[in-house]
Amino acid sequence: MFCHMQDALAQVSPTPLASSLRKLKPFSLCGSLARKKGLSVAVVGLLALFLRLALLPILGVPVPGIHDEFSYLLAGDTFAQGRLTNPTHPMWIHFESFFIIEHPTYMSMYPPGQGLVLALGIRLGHPWIGVLLSTALMCSAICWMLEGWLPPAWALLGGVLAVLQLGVLTYWINSYWGGSLPALGGALVLGSLPRLIRGAKPLDALWMALGLAILANTRPFEGVALSLPALVILSIGISAKKHLPAMVLLRRILPPIAVVLLATAVAMAYYNFRVTGSPLRMPYQVNARAYRGFPPFLWQQAWQKPVYHHAVMRGYYETLLRDYQNSRTWKGFYQHTLRFVEIGWLFFVGPVFTLALLAFRALLRDRRMRGPLWIGAVFLLALCTETWVHPHYFAPATSLFYLVVLQSMRHLRQWRWSGRPIGVFLVRAIPITCCVLLLVRLMAIAAHLQIEPWPRGNLDRARVLSKLRSLPGQQLVIVRYAAEHNAEHEWVYNQADIDHAKVVWARDMGHRDNQELLEYFKGREAWMVYPDESPLRLEPLPHSLAPSDPHPLLLTGSW
């Protein structure tokens, strides 16, 4: 960033001042760093890592709160214990929850990529460590990808911008939901593309294959939407090479890619077989049939309505079904597309990068950007067909977005008005504004000013869990919701090994069915929690507590 500012200042300063600026150590060091591409990639990743760690006193460690987070954490806990899945629990009907399958095994419905990252974090001490490391690698991979398309100084600037925009305050690093890992996979694919066209080195082919494998195990559909046009461009680029026959290039590229992808396909088929009983049936498909009753794509027809055992789950999925049905109408699809554009703009672009994209029209005439823009167009069209839209659905194309922004900034930098280089000032304002906005947001969080919700997550559940973990023995918590309960605020999620967990969470199913659960867990102290009351209420079930140990501090209170 500093080296880019140095060039900008030099263009608007007298020659002696420009000469002095070039001698300043920060600028000189940045210029030297940008020329050392491998070191630049490492520095960007370390910046993301240490910046977020330095902010732990302000931001803390994330608390899970969204359905997807608990599902991924179940996968992480399972993998960390050396298993691919878990047997269906005899009392499974009491533990049913969102985005988890109970039959034929008990496991997350999602592909295993994010779960493996969380498992690594668990082995290192906390699942968030895996999120932190994957985000640092994502920022490094974005810088590496940009080095394949742009001059080194601009690639370094892009890596720093990715750290500032994605590596501090977004939910990609402050939750367990994912986003960083598919962005890493997409960066490996798109960064390998120009390198393979230029040199066809087997190492670059391995990087591409690794990126494809990551996408297949994180965001499969979006990964295909990104990878297919990229591979088409790769084949066109190889066929256009004059100094080497296409077959020679293919012999260098195809074997490493084929080996990695074959191993990935075998591993994915085996994982599916262990979890669902069929190598071709994904856990996502099992969950959709069991609970959702409608497909993930708008062009598909809904199927038979599932049977629900809990009112809160029925209400949640019926709301999603109405959204799906509405989006299949012309008016609904128009609103769906506007929401899609709004989500992408708010998360990735915002007012800061909108300034950079003022020169987007010049990109349409830039021959070097035809391939990336074509890939981006195919990717965005594919995403419009999905029933839901979240920022991490865009994740595979994250590095592509930064390429578009940086190249647009390079064109913007050439703008002049009345002979004055106004483009230089506009470009220089972008990284400065990013830094200022980040600082303002951090100061607001530190001062507890609610310009944005912080901390995030289900804090009430986390406090109750912490209290119960501090008690001797094992605990059973039955959750009783009010009729107006918001299904987005779910409490019933469990670890991989339910029977040996310190705290087990279950749904209230009425006296008779609850008694069945209490008999099964008769060695545990049992509690009833009322999450929708204010203040939150947690009380022991009388028959499960010894009279001499009522734990009165936990009966009621503000959490």
pLDDT digits (tens, 9 = 90+) for 80-90: 999 999 999 99
The reply to whether omega before 182 is within 30° of 0 (cis) is: no
Look at residue 13 and tell me whether its pLDDT is greater than 70: no
Alpha-carbon distance 437 to 339, whole Å?
A: 25
| pLDDT confidence bin for 550, thresholds 50/70/90 | very low
Number of alpha carbons in the 13 Å side-chain half-sphere of residue 42? 5
pLDDT digits (tens, 9 = 90+) for 355-367: 889 888 889 888 8
Question: What is the pLDDT of the chain when averaged over all its residues?
Answer: 88
Residue tagged 């977020």 (tokens): 52
Give the three-class secondary structure for 540: strand
- Tell me the mean pLDDT in the region 150-172: 94
Question: What confidence score (pLDDT) does residue 12 get?
Answer: 36
- Is the predicted pLDDT of residue 34 greater than 90, yes or no? no
pLDDT in tens, 61-75: 999 999 999 999 999
Question: How is residue 97 annotated by DSSP?
Answer: -
Which pLDDT score, from 0 to 100, does residue 242 have?
65
CA distance 137 to 233: 26
The reported pTM is 0.90
Q: With beta carbons less than 8 A apart as the criterion, state whether 426 and 213 touch.
A: no
Report, as an integer, the average pLDDT of 277-287: 96
- pLDDT for the residue 17: 40
Q: Does the pLDDT at position 23 exceed 90?
A: no
Residue 140 has pLDDT above 50, yes or no: yes
Element counts in the chain: helices (H) and strands (E): 24, 7
- Residue among 190, 191, 196, 186 nearest 237 (CA): 196
Amino acid at 14: P
Round the CA-based radius of gyration of the chain to a whole number and report it: 26
Domain borders along the chain are 36-62+113-277+333-381+389-446, 459-554
Residue 253: the pLDDT is 84
- How high is the pLDDT of residue 248? 66
Average pLDDT of the residues in 330-350: 92
Mean pLDDT, rounded, for 422-448: 91
Please say whether the dihedral angle defined by the alpha carbons of residues 390, 110, 313 and 294, taken in this order, is positive or negative: positive
Per-residue pLDDT for 470 more than 90?
yes
Asked whether the predicted pLDDT for residue 91 surpasses 60, the reply is: yes
Query: How much is the pLDDT for 245?
Result: 66
Nearest to 21, CA basis, from 2, 6, 39, 5: 6
Contact in structure between 431 and 161 (CB atoms under 8 Å): yes
Tell me, what's the pLDDT at 152?
A: 92
Task: Specify the pLDDT at position 448.
Answer: 86
Q: Which residues pair with 506 in a beta bridge?
A: 478
Place of tokens 């991979």: 141
* Mean pLDDT, residues 249-278 taken together: 92
∠ CA 46-52-54 to the nearest 5 degrees? 95
> What are the Cα distances from residue 318, in Å, to 103, 324, 339, 487, 488?
22, 10, 20, 11, 13
Whether the CB-CB separation of 476 and 521 falls below 8 Å is answered with: yes
Scanning the structure block, which residue is given the tokens 């399958």? 101
Q: What is the pLDDT of residue 35?
A: 83
* Model pLDDT for residues 231-241, shown as the tens digit of each residue: 999 988 887 77
Tokens of 450: 């609610």
What's the whole-number mean pLDDT along residues 489-513?
95
Each residue of 293-329: pLDDT tens digit? Answer: 888 888 888 888 888 999 999 999 999 999 999 999 9
Q: So what's the pLDDT on residue 243?
A: 61
Q: At what angle do helices 202-216 and 220-239 cross, to 10 degrees?
A: 160
Lookup: tokens for 298: 């708008």
Q: Say if residue 510's pLDDT is above 80.
A: yes
Round to whole Å and give the CA distance between 256 and 231: 15
Choose between 175 and 541: higher pLDDT: 175
Rounded average pLDDT over 138-146: 97
* pLDDT tens by residue, 515-549: 999 999 998 999 999 999 989 999 998 654 333 34
Burial group, residue 415, by CB count within 10 angstroms (0-12, 13-18, 19+): middle
Residue 484 token pair: 């107006």
Rounded to 5 degrees, what angle do the CA atoms 523, 525, 527 make? 140
- Cβ-proximal residues to 355 (8 Å cutoff; 6+ apart), any chain: 426, 429, 430, 433
